[in-house]
Structure 1
């Protein structure tokens, strides 16, 4: 499915001029059909000379063969309900126009709507339902749109597993959600199939739906073998967390220890719950791995896990890890100290120059509340182009948090940064800058800096900003 949608009015004019339907819009994109439906009426109301004369008043030909697909599509979208209704029987015999028949099932004119529904009920089979499902579900969100969704459900109840599989693999997220809900309600998939779907699908709704259904459908603990494996090895954390939580019901709570240091906070929390229910102490498990000689092999998840369930005294175990050779451990140590509200400014300052972007990012977050305690010149030096991008960004964030003319100085200095995003953020910071009452004596410098960024303001706004900074306009 395309990422953009056709201009409905342009498509209507092209069809009126005789262009083939398939070269005018993407017939697989629901958005294009809906745009055409609205575009035909817009052209008819405001640009009617663009349409041929028959579109306005002439009746449709009695012989369907005399009406090509493009003109029939225009007739199905016509502002006159009598023309739309007359075109419906012809559309029912044209598979390429079934999408417009679906749209007419929500028509505001009762006779047109009733006739379209009757024809769609007679026409829609399993093969057509697979192709029309994205449009049916899209139209189903409209007023009077429930009919199509209910008809789709009815067709799927009678369809084969192969056709349902096509919907389960659809690139359209709404279609996959609908198909999996249908499969779960009808118990059409085995627990192992649902578990694999939860592990492989990138949509969180499908993940939760299938993981829950897979675990609910299991008759006893012995049946968990084929379900737990895909859940516990899934890349997405929501599915892994479901598998970890299920370890308790499966009678395997001891396996949850292996997930106490998972990269996901959600999975770690579920693992701690299962371990505690089994009588274990997650905090003691974390402390053991964060205490020498466990330092060289400490997993990053254990470092942040200790902060999540430990106490302030555990900050003593995290501080030495700020110098750990693994960047992941250093970053989690900074995050852990921030979570425990025990982030020492002087110990963290050197980490702003860390070669790992993740460490610098966590350090900037930890130092934000103490930004005014950091030397302005020291931070400004780190916004120079000779510094790595992640260092420039972190220093800039801290300087902006300081506010005042120092923040403006940093933002203006980055207006010519080689990185496009940094230049954009710097420009936004200049536009948002507001002088503090305590720095009005630096109005001359502020005025000079604002002049360097004058392309970001209108003349009126620039004069007001300079006046607010205590400088002459």
Structure 2
């Protein structure tokens, strides 16, 4: 079954997999607003008070997959449930009353740890420690930052003992939540404990923790391995070549190149200098410079990455190569490369900018895009020449043209951004929206409402985020009983915004839609005659 707000089935009618699916679905909806989160908490309270350990375990497994959802539940349940006078919260009272072995449900313990009464939270922490359970560890980690000292001290002592006694079981369960709350007040204790446990954990445990979990978790594991020098240079090279996360990849590349410089292993540096990742190439070229291979590094003047080109120009100066002359020859030659065109824009003065104008119609899209970027870097963009590229067949050219024209968007034809926003291609709609990004609030609100229902998921997500930002900014600028800031619009524009707001309601979610409706309703809006 799939549970939906307002349709709460008896917990006994649910199976474990169905409940996991219901919690996962409710958790996704909980991001939309407080009411969805309240429905999720009530569902969990029903299961916890029912005493079915299997269902409680299924719900905990579903929660464990989303530490952020656990944090939101902990933050909101006190306000929405424990202190509520609604009779629908009766399961919560039964849950607290039954917080004693052997009848206690693990899910009941987890929910009780979010109670507003510190004594109840302390009882929940004691229950967690009496019968340790990896599924409850995320809730225990939260209590290590509790504002009540007694609760905090018990949770901290318990977490430290669990990690010391059985890191293989409890470290993978504690690490995601510990890293998530590290920046919170009193949240650093848990992060320090998992770091200490990771340093002393057996290699098998470190491999398990490093192979799963969030990017932050993998970063910490690799950092510890590098700091402790537990990885061989071949392992570091392999990690630098295969890793997708830029921080992990750069960390491995730096360690590998440092070792290669110390041991003068040029083949490794040259191998990494040919890597497809710009950050790895840059690190390897610095290693080659340290070993005196300046001439070799200077051959990378036309690299596609700006940092690599900058390193190559520094090397070229040391060996007496004129980088500007090299770039002028490349740009005016029969076969310019994108890297050479970009390097030209980074090196010459504005007086040389006309050399790029002829490349705006080059048959290769990458050259056209590089020419537009070069003109922008030289502050030599001519609107009449770049504006036709807003409808270029290449998305990269459209993106560069949009970036170049945004500072002068007010000088463009007024209908152009809206025409682009209604275009069939994703990159055209994105360009139109970006060109409207510096317009007054009513214009930006209309554009964001149009984008919120876009058929492209990325554009729709951006539109929803911008509508949310505009609405919340407006609501924060007022005090409790004062009207929301006025929207200076005509009657026709006001009617148009109302239609767009109604159409976007399913995409925006209940909370944002309510705020938007209040903003657009009646007195808060200054309506001018058309």
Q: Same fold (TM over 0.5)?
A: yes
Contact 2:399 2:427 in 1 (8 A): yes
TM-score (norm 2): 0.67
Deviations 1:302-344 (A, max 9, x none): 1121011112343243222222110111121122223223334
In the TM superposition, what are the counterparts of 1:275-290 in structure 2 within 5 Å? 275-290=316-331
The gaps in structure 1 that reach 5 residues or longer are 432-445
CA distance in 2, matches of 1:320, 1:349: 15
Contact 1:307 1:340 in 2 (8 A): yes
Deviations 1:216-260 (A, max 9, x none): 34452623433552464143x333322233221133333334533
Residue 249 of structure 1 corresponds to which residue in structure 2? 290
CA distance in 2, matches of 1:271, 1:362: 25
Structure ID, larger Rg: 1
CA distance in 1, matches of 2:317, 2:253: 23
CA distance in 2, matches of 1:400, 1:368: 8
Residue 372 of structure 2 corresponds to which residue in structure 1? 334
TM-score (norm 1): 0.73
Deviation, 1:169, is 3.1
Deviations 1:41-69 (A, max 9, x none): 5544336522354724x7724xxx44443
Q: Please, which of 188, 205, 214 is the counterpart of residue 230 of structure 2? A: 188
Structure 1 residues 452 and 105, CA gap change in structure 2 (3 angstroms): closer
Residue 175 of structure 2 corresponds to which residue in structure 1? 133
Contact 1:198 1:231 in 2 (8 A): no
Deviation, 1:370, is 5.8
Structure 1 residues 452 and 32, CA gap change in structure 2 (3 angstroms): closer
CA distance in 2, matches of 1:95, 1:29: 14
The gaps in structure 2 that reach 5 residues or longer are 1-23, 31-36, 471-488, 501-519
Say whether 1:206 aligns with 2:241. no
Say whether 1:162 aligns with 2:162. no
Say whether 1:103 aligns with 2:149. no
CA distance in 1, matches of 2:410, 2:106: 70
Stretch deviating more after TM superposition (107-116 or 15-24):
107-116
Stretch deviating more after TM superposition (27-36 or 239-248):
27-36
Say whether 1:60 aligns with 2:113. no
Deviation, 1:172, is 0.8
Residue 303 of structure 2 corresponds to which residue in structure 1? 262
Stretch deviating more after TM superposition (451-460 or 313-322):
451-460
Structure 1 residues 263 and 458, CA gap change in structure 2 (3 angstroms): farther
Deviation, 1:262, is 2.8
Residue 59 of structure 2 corresponds to which residue in structure 1? 24
Contact 2:285 2:297 in 1 (8 A): yes
In the TM superposition, what are the counterparts of 1:337-416 in structure 2 within 5 Å? 337-367=375-405
CA distance in 1, matches of 2:421, 2:76: 52
Say whether 1:50 aligns with 2:76. no
Contact 1:105 1:113 in 2 (8 A): yes
CA distance in 1, matches of 2:491, 2:181: 57
Q: Please, which of 440, 453, 459 is the counterpart of residue 496 of structure 2? A: 453
Contact 1:76 1:88 in 2 (8 A): no
Contact 2:342 2:370 in 1 (8 A): yes
Q: Please, which of 91, 115, 119 is the counterpart of residue 131 of structure 2? A: 91
Q: For 1:464, what is the secondary structure of its paired residue?
A: strand
Structure 1 residues 214 and 384, CA gap change in structure 2 (3 angstroms): closer
In the TM superposition, what are the counterparts of 1:297-312 in structure 2 within 5 Å? 297-312=335-350
> What RMSD in Å do the two structures reach over aligned CA positions?
4.4
CA distance in 1, matches of 2:232, 2:124: 45
CA distance in 1, matches of 2:177, 2:131: 16
CA distance in 1, matches of 2:411, 2:188: 60
